Amino acid sequence: MLSLISSLNPWLVGVGLNTVLLSIVFIAPKKLLTPAGLLHAWFLGVLLWGTLGWQGYVVVMFYFLVGSAVTRIGMEQKEAEGIAEKRSGARGPENVWGSALTGALCALAIGIINWGLISIPVETQVIASLLLLGFVASFSTKLSDTCASEVGKAYGKSTFLITTLQPVPRGTEGAVSLEGTLAGMLASAAIAFLAWGVGLINILGVAWCILAAFIATNIESVIGATLQSKYTWLTNEVVNILNTLIGAIAAMIFALTWASL
């Protein structure tokens, strides 16, 4: 089946598949996306299938399904405490691109390279491999951040401000917990191993993604604790973009550093 799908025009497949799947999401009783979020997710899905094929699409679907599920953990409790995601976790356009902009840019760059639209004076396969690693690391980082935050808010027994290690209430910007940290690391490993399983990265890339996700998630907590309340433009979505960008860049630096040793 996959070989048959792969032989078809990937853009047409992307349009058809995303139209069907997001139509199902639209009529489902549990709203995972707002109407505008559905439209933006459709464009993202078509882009991913057209540039990375089913392998890249599967990785992002895994992120979306797991991220949506973990957001609903302890929802009643989190809503009562005022620390739940808005719209009961339904994603809007800002959430779609806050989570996926870095990965989408990596995928687009890979597509441009593969289509021969630009001439790169170095080995294109090396650049494409690094961009694939950045793509996976961005979603590994975002899933780590989502799971760490949501599990910490639901089950964190002791939460501390990352900059001072002073106890703070669950849901405080910049707060971390052991339960959330472990959940985040497990989530980043799960999506990285999935990407390895479908052939997007090698086994060493899994390690780089997990390490990059851990670093980026903690930097995101530092930003939340120190800067986010000071600047109105530093919204959660902007912080998410910075978070995924840091994760992608960190993973690529690790790969380049290791290769040069």
pLDDT of 110 above 80: yes
pLDDT number for residue 192: 98
- Are 98 and 145 within 8 A, CB to CB? no
- Are 188 and 141 within 8 A, CB to CB? yes
What does 56-120 look like in DSSP terms, one character per residue?
Answer: HHHHHHHHHHHHHHHHTTTHHHHHHHT-SPGGGG-B-HHHHHHHHHHHHHHHHHHHHHHTT-S--
The whole-angstrom separation of Cα 200 and Cα 128 is 10
Residue 24 burial (CB count, 10 A): 9
pLDDT of 178 above 50: yes
Residue percentage of the chain with pLDDT more than 90: 53
pLDDT number for residue 98: 92
pLDDT number for residue 7: 47
The model carries a pTM of 0.89
pLDDT per residue over 182-207, tens digit each? 999 999 999 999 999 999 999 999 99
pLDDT number for residue 224: 86
pLDDT per residue over 13-27, tens digit each? 989 999 998 888 888
Cβ within 8 Å of residue 133, ≥6 positions away? 201, 205, 208, 209, 248, 251, 252, 255
Picking from 159, 258, 158, 171, the residue whose alpha carbon sits closest to that of residue 206 is 258
Q: Is the dihedral of CA 115, 121, 124, 128 positive or negative?
A: negative
| Stronger pLDDT, 130 or 155, i.e. the higher one | 130
Mean pLDDT of 237-254: 96
pLDDT number for residue 170: 81
Q: How confident is the model at residue 52 (pLDDT cuts 50, 70, 90)?
A: very high
Q: Which residues pair with 159 in a beta bridge?
A: 177
Mean pLDDT of 220-233: 88
pLDDT number for residue 156: 77
Pairing of strands 175-177, 159-161: antiparallel
Mean per-residue pLDDT over the chain, rounded? 87
Picking from 188, 79, 175, the residue whose alpha carbon sits closest to that of residue 142 is 188
